[in-house]
Amino acid sequence: MPEALIKFIQNKLYFSLFLLVLIYLVGIFSVLFGDADKLMLLTPFNLLFASGLILYNAQGINKRYLLWFALIAIMGFLIELAGIETGIIFGEYAYGHGLGIRLFNVPLMIGINWAVLVFGSAAVFNSLSMSLFGKSTLGASLMVSYDFLLEPVAMRFDFWDWSANSVPFQNYLAWWIVAFVMLIFIHKNVKDLRNKIAIYVIGVQTLFFIILVFSQNLSLF
């Protein structure tokens, strides 16, 4: 194997960016050529891929980092379970089959998605000279903006659906509060959140959702 190729593979950021861009370019072209429905069946694997990139590029990764990543994933799953059972947290909604295997009618991958977004958002703002409160506020706001674009995509591809077929404001408020609390815990208990790939993962996924919204003629409101 050529030495240049070996060095490229050994560079975590460059190799990860290559995989990220390659996979999403395939996804974007699949959407543009009318294969969105087939492509979105792979969403659970895409979430696993995103979590792998975040963990692989976490510069301060250790047992404590992994423990909190797992705790956020479990907390996210349990909050979603409470959400669909009561309708009190986010509103009245139910999960479809688009996110893969479900436990108690909640996809297992939804907890992983919470962990990816929380740790990714925390890493994006971690280097700013701000208070823990300020970083968590920005991170929670970023996550709600992400969810705003995700919602029409989720309903179109059977990730979940709302009882009134529209997203209540309560959902975004609850998302912000839950995200803020999780981010407070992470910033307080995980000392090194540096992760150079995080902003690219969130950015590329956001771009992909925007393309889906326009290509599928979805409404954001």
Average pLDDT over residues 114-138: 94
CA–CA gap between residue 100 and residue 71 (Å, rounded): 21
The domain locations on the chain are 3-215
Under 8 Å between Cβ of 118 and 183: yes
Under 8 Å between Cβ of 193 and 54: no
pLDDT at 8 over 70: no
Instruction: Note the pLDDT tens digit of each residue in 154-208.
Output: 999 999 999 888 899 999 999 999 999 999 999 999 989 999 999 999 999 999 9
- The average confidence (pLDDT) of the chain is 92
pLDDT at 5 over 70: no
Output the pLDDT for position 72: 97
pLDDT at 69 over 90: yes
Q: What is the pTM assigned to this prediction?
A: 0.92
pLDDT at 4 over 90: no
Residues with Cβ within 8 Å of 33's Cβ and at least 6 positions away in sequence, in order, are: none
